[in-house]
Each structure stands twice: as structure tokens, then as C-alpha cells.
A and B are shown apart, each in its own frame.
Chain A
């Protein structure tokens, strides 16, 4: 049996599945239910400074996009940090940690970008004996208008400064949560590292307008006819999150910095992908908000079963395994040639591969052969683009098959070169020509 116990910057949990700082972790009632369901840890919903708590809108806070059969693909929210009193949260955190000593509890914090504000709250959190803190530099709505959240996360110097205060005034492990609403995710990650952070977590939500009500012409969620951009999350953001995690994992300046992966984790497979790209664990929110806490069972059993099948014994066997395979486009092997292949037994003859290729790509798939509806790849025209695979409704019906070295590529009329060759040395590359001259 695979051992999926997690040790993230010294914070131990029975599995790598944490609930992200969000509505599911706003109070003891929810967190206790999550732990009963099997979650390895939680990042408690973001605490603000002492005093009257923030208020939320009293209308809709969420908007969504859906796929077929109204599967929720993307969720958007305009909720703020916890709107409960600081001490209520602290008392509950302390009690829940006492009740569940084997689970991880991390406190998410967002206070004004002033040294005294951080200095004031850190000891209060430390007193609860939770396992660590997460600095919310990501929230893109509401709080950012007040100079917090993403407003800090978008300025590397502020990140470095606040992380340094936290390390200075607290003995707790510090996880810096990054906003994706930035051009180059490596900059804030490097700043956090310079400040001495123990880890980064990403991504926070993406600034978004999820839809427009076409009767009232108000963005959704609509508050009395007006809308504000919200934070976007859920399965739709996973690709963005994976890329950002990988960028930090393979950046020489941040290489080895522990990462808590967040963004659209819905199944064990998503989690395994984050781990492979360098995450030490994952945080989940939308999937739980869509299906309830029970989904963690599928994640735990699915990850374990896959690890058993593949012979991975611990999470360390997986973490970062794909990082070395993330490279720049210019280093991709241009002598690698693949062609689409359609499994005629699996084909249901919907013709989508044909029309996608015919209308929008390379005219490389038949629709009719000898007067019969038949979809087949014309190797002489196929550039191996993979569009047909992606639009086919039947999994594994269309596959990309690599041509073995030496075999004729019917499109170019040349045999497949066994040697690796990339753009940097390609004769069409003006930079390569200059180098040769």
C-alpha cells in the first residue's frame, strides 16, 4: 500500500489533500465535518485584523460557467475574508486543533500592509497552536481595493517585506499565497523566497466576470443591478495553475521551494498532476463546494491505487517528477513526428474530427471513402496537431502515434531522423544562422 502521508514544511497530515482557505473552512462546524470526511488539513478562512469584521454583500456571491449536463466548470466569487470576529475564529481554531491533533490547520491571514498590523496578529494566531500561517496575497476582489490581498501580491517588494515581518515576529512556518493576476509568476515567488518564506501556495483566484445577465445587462453575480469582478476558480483554471506551479518549480531561483498546489483540483488525477509538477501537496475548494466533503475519499483512494499500480511508495516518489520535462518551446524535438490514428472499431462516426480538420486545420481526415461514411487520417496531410483527438467524443478512439525513426513521413516525403534537433539549430532560425556565421 502506498504511503500518502504528507509532510509539508514540517506540517504533517495523513494525506496531501487540504481544504483551501475559503467558505468551507470558515468555522469549526465545517472544518470538523471536513476532518470527519477525511481531509488531511485545512487552511482556515482568512483572518483580518482585530476590530469590527468585514461585511459581505447580502445578495449573490457566486457565479459559474457550466459544461454539458450543467457540470460546474468554473466558479467565481465576490466573497471577502472571514466576516466573523477575529477572536471567535481563534478560539474555534484552537479547539479544533486540540480535537484533531493529527490534522493540519494553517491560518490564512490578511491585514494591512503595515508592520504593526502583522506584528499584532501573529502572536494571537501563534497562541492557538495551529501548524502555520498562509499569507493571503491573492484575493483579487474587494480587499485589493483596500490595499490588501492581490494588491500586495502584485508588488514583489511588498511581498518580500511582509514575509520578512512574519518570519521575524513568528516561529510558525510561513506559506505565501500568490495571485495569478500578474504577468510573470516567478517574480512574486522569488520575492517571497527572498523574504524567507517557507513555501508558496498558488494559485489564488483569477480576476473574472463570469457572465452578463442579458435582461438587465448586469454582470453576474448581480447585486441590485451592478456587478464587480470576482475571483475565478474550479476545473477551468487548472491549466493556468499547473503552468504557474511548473514555472516556479523549474525556475533556478526558486527551485526546491516547497509549493502547495491550488487551482481546480477535482479528482485524484488532478492532484497527482500538481504533485508531478512540483507541488508538495494540494489545496481544494471548488470541488468540495460542488460535491461536498465526501469527494476526498475518491481522491485518497484514487491516488493510492495509482501509486500502487505504478510502484510509487511515498509522495516523494511523485513530487516534481514532471518538472524536468517542462521545457521551452525552442528545445522541443522537431524530428519527433506523430500522426493521428483512428480506431475504426471505437469510432462512432460523428464526423467531428473530419469537420474540425477540414474547416479549421489541415484537411487530413476523410469523410467518405468509396461512397461510405468513413473517417480516416490521410497521413500525407496530417501534421499531427492533435485537434482531432481533442474534439473526438470517444476517449482513446483517436490516438497520436509516433513514427519510428527511419520511417517515411508521407507528408514531407522524408524519413524520420532519429536524432534530436530543435529550433535553436534549425536552418530557418535566423538566430541559428547568425550563430553559425
Chain B
């Protein structure tokens, strides 16, 4: 295949280029780098970084432990709050969380590299296989967890620590959820998601059954009758459509499918990509798809977002990363129709947008961007069956602050609920907290009260 050949083709690059393009975005800090970086932490009182972390990791403490030559103690500090601290160190938008509020920004505009330091400590612990948690005496309680994504894994781990036996039912063939299928390849290399699943489940008492989908292979009522408690940690399986003509043409794809397929491919040279690619959307998925399209050898990659830069869900850091890879981000453009030729995508007609009286409208001015592949990245929706009478709120499972649903023995967390940000770290926090809530209920031995009437 020629590098700049038209259409959607694989093998645009040399094997060296593929290897380099999909290598680790931020290689782990070496010891010296970690010591220099950790020296910059002021060990703040009531540290803003800690407050900004959805899992409330004691960041000043774990950094101090690195600086004093105790990376394993540091890792324990992290895992105490967030057993998926390794993945979060890689994928958290730290620039909008802990690092955004670092007091170093005030004087120097340069935060302590919290994410990289977290990775340093967690990598050392995971590579040495060091486990920090022991299971309490068996409780005799059995708990079902639906979905082996960040929320489900975090819940399962905390439940297992408390002596409960956990069965995770996972629809796909691998565990990890979005960590396995939804993260840009260069953010978690070397099969990290699977290694992390192994690390988390090494605690014992966690069984994962793959290929078991809610609504197809079992229903929620099956679980509530078979288990003492249930935690629902499903992700979003629906993808929002553009609702424009030409959406079914060859070359119009869901960005999440593209990202998943790319992650699962062992040889990136076999993954086809268009010469000219347009990504519709303004979130992390749009950025991840666009960057990876470019890394696969697309000549021209354009993100079209219907609002302004400041409205993008993708952080400024992510936007800059995309720009540095040669992705063009265009704002105030909405898709109007997809243009086909011989049944394949040939371009996309876009229309300019503007805010008028506080509402987004189109201006009537249109243009055409040539493209042979279009990725849709305008959000996902929660689609599930088999949940029976479970109560919903705005299309997601309704829960209270502890993750309790409208059913007595059922908790939920992660993307399937409507609380918190749609981040790995938020899902971990929700899974962990739901597990604590379940544990409190089981420990009390009391009849649980339904939280959401």
C-alpha cells in the first residue's frame, strides 16, 4: 500500500513508524526523574490536589514517600484509595484534576507531575507483584458484579478485601471495559489493562465469567435471587448517530469501534485508515480517534466540533496533543450531510454554527470537506435490557450518593449511572464506594432500606 493512496487502506507506514507512533506516550519516569519531580511537592495542608481527585488519593503523602525512597509505601497509599491507580496514572486528565489545582501553578504555571509520579510508584509495585491487601475472614456472602470495567473491578476488589466472594459477569471476551477497549493505544501499552486486571484479581475471591451479557444471558432478577447483593457496572453500549443523510455509507464508522479494534490489533499495519479522515465530536473519544488516525498514516485528519474551543470536553492538553500530531481542529461546524460516491464516503458537507440568543443555531453557510472516512464521536448512550423495574433517571440508572439503586440489594456505578464525570477515576470511586456501602449493609446484617423510592 502506498503511504498516500486514496480510500481506506491498511499498511500506510513502515513497521518502524507504527512501532514508534504507538509506543508509550509518556514513558515511566526513571528514579532520578522521580526524585527531582517529587522534590517539587510542597506537602500542602488539606492539599487541593487531593480534593480534586475523585478517589481522594493522599497525593502529598504518596509523593513524599517517593521522595524518601519508599515507592512501595507510596503505591500502597495510592491503592488504598484507588486500586486502579496504575491505569488512572496513565489516562486521568490530570490537567483538569489534581495537576490543575496544584499550588505550584500559582507561582510557576507548572504543576508537580502528579500523574507521572503516580505511575512511577504503581509500576514498581505492580512489576514486583507486591500485593498490599489481604482478605478478611470469609463472610459467606456472594456478590454479583455486572461488568469488568473500572467500576466493577474497583467494587469487586473492595468487596473481596472485605471477605465476600465476588462473581463478575462480563459481556465481552476480555476484562477491563474501557481500559481495555476504549483507551488510546499509546496511553496504555504492553497489555497494561490486562496486567492490571490480573493484579486486582490476585487478591482472590473474584471470579470473572466472560461472554455473559445482561439481558441476553441473564437478567437482574436472576442475580438478585442468586446473590446476596448485586453491583451494576455496565458501560455505555449505544453510540449516538449524526442523524444526517449518508450515515450508512461505507466509510462512516463509530469512533469507539475504531479505537477498540485498533487496541485489539496486534499488528497496527493491518488496521485500515482513510487518507482523509474527518472526526465529528469534541470529547476525548474524538481526540483519541483523530490522533490515532493520524498515527496510522492518514494524510489529513480534521475534527469538526459544533461549538467553540472552550466548550470542548477534551482538555486543552488533549487538544494540544492532537494539534502536535498534525490534527486540525475546526470549531463551529455541524455535519449537514455525508456525500457519497460509488457507495463510499467522498466528503462531508458541514454548516457553520453560531450562538444566537443563548442557543446554538446553524448560519446557513455551508462547505464541503473531502473525506474518505468519517468517525462519529458525539457521545454514547446507555442501552440495557434485563433490568426489570429498576428505576432510571435521565436515561441512566438512578442511584443515591452511596450508589444504592431503587432495588434493595442492587448498587450501581460507572457510566451506567448519571453521577460524576465520565472518567475512569470517577468510575473507580463509585465502584469502591458502592462496595463499602454493600459491606456496611452486609455487616449490619440488617434488612436494607431502598434508597431510591
Q: Are A69 and B48 in contact (CB under 8 A)?
A: no
Partner of A354, one of B43, B45, B106: B45
Partner of A350, one of B36, B39, B45: B45
Q: Which residue of B lies closest to A347 (CB)?
A: B106
Q: Are B107 and A394 in contact (CB under 8 A)?
A: yes
**Residue from A347, A350, A355 whose CB has the most chain B CB atoms within 10 Å:** A350
12 additional A-B pairs beyond A351-B45, A373-B48, beta carbons within 8 Å, are A69-B39, A348-B104, A349-B48, A349-B103, A350-B44, A351-B44, A352-B42, A352-B43, A352-B44, A352-B45, A367-B45, A373-B46
Q: List chain B positions with a Cβ less than 8 A from chain A.
A: 35-36, 39-40, 42-48, 103-104, 106-107
B107 CB to nearest chain A CB (Å) = 5
Q: Does A70 contact B (CB under 8 A)?
A: yes
B33 CB to nearest chain A CB (Å) = 12
* 16 intermolecular pairs with C-beta atoms under 8 Å apart: A68-B40, A70-B35, A347-B106, A348-B103, A348-B104, A348-B107, A349-B44, A349-B103, A349-B106, A350-B103, A351-B44, A352-B43, A352-B44, A367-B45, A367-B46, A394-B107
Inter-chain CA distance A393–B40, complex, in Å, is 11
Inter-chain CA distance A394–B108, complex, in Å, is 11
Inter-chain CA distance A68–B104, complex, in Å, is 15
Q: Are A393 and B35 in contact (CB under 8 A)?
A: no
B-side contacts of A350, CB under 8 Å = 42, 44-45, 103
Inter-chain CA distance A348–B104, complex, in Å, is 7
Inter-chain CA distance A373–B40, complex, in Å, is 21
Q: Which residue of B lies closest to A394 (CB)?
A: B107
Q: Give the number of residue pairs across the A-B interface with Cβ within 8 Å.
A: 35
B-side contacts of A354, CB under 8 Å = 45
B114 CB to nearest chain A CB (Å) = 15
Q: Which residue of A lies closest to B43 (CB)?
A: A352
Inter-chain CA distance A173–B83, complex, in Å, is 71
Inter-chain CA distance A352–B46, complex, in Å, is 9
A-side contacts of B45, CB under 8 Å = 350-352, 354-355, 367
Mark out the residues of chain A between 329 and 363 whose CB falls within 8 Å of any chain B CB in the assembled complex.
347-352, 354-355
Q: List chain A positions with a Cβ less than 8 A from chain B.
A: 68-70, 347-352, 354-355, 367, 373, 393-394
A127 CB to nearest chain B CB (Å) = 51
Q: Are B106 and A351 in contact (CB under 8 A)?
A: no
Inter-chain CA distance A394–B104, complex, in Å, is 10
Q: Which residue of A lies closest to B46 (CB)?
A: A351
- Shortest 3 CB-CB distances between A and B: which pairs? A351-B45, A355-B45, A348-B106
B71 CB to nearest chain A CB (Å) = 16
Inter-chain CA distance A350–B105, complex, in Å, is 11
Q: Which residue of A lies closest to B104 (CB)?
A: A348
Q: Which residue of B lies closest to A392 (CB)?
A: B42
A370 CB to nearest chain B CB (Å) = 16
Inter-chain CA distance A79–B103, complex, in Å, is 44
Q: Which residue of B lies closest to A393 (CB)?
A: B42
Q: Which residue of A lies closest to B32 (CB)?
A: A70
Q: Are A69 and B36 in contact (CB under 8 A)?
A: yes
B32 CB to nearest chain A CB (Å) = 9
Q: Which residue of B lies closest to A69 (CB)?
A: B39
A-side contacts of B107, CB under 8 Å = 348, 394
A-side contacts of B35, CB under 8 Å = 70
Q: Which residue of B lies closest to A71 (CB)?
A: B39
Inter-chain CA distance A150–B323, complex, in Å, is 67
B233 CB to nearest chain A CB (Å) = 34
A-side contacts of B103, CB under 8 Å = 348-350
Q: Which residue of B lies closest to A349 (CB)?
A: B103
Q: Which residue of A lies closest to B47 (CB)?
A: A351
Inter-chain CA distance A394–B42, complex, in Å, is 11
Inter-chain CA distance A394–B45, complex, in Å, is 15
Inter-chain CA distance A351–B47, complex, in Å, is 8
Inter-chain CA distance A230–B449, complex, in Å, is 70
Inter-chain CA distance A351–B48, complex, in Å, is 10
A-side contacts of B39, CB under 8 Å = 68-69
A332 CB to nearest chain B CB (Å) = 31
A-side contacts of B42, CB under 8 Å = 350, 352, 393
Q: Which residue of A lies closest to B44 (CB)?
A: A350
Inter-chain CA distance A394–B106, complex, in Å, is 11
Q: Which residue of A lies closest to B67 (CB)?
A: A68
B66 CB to nearest chain A CB (Å) = 13
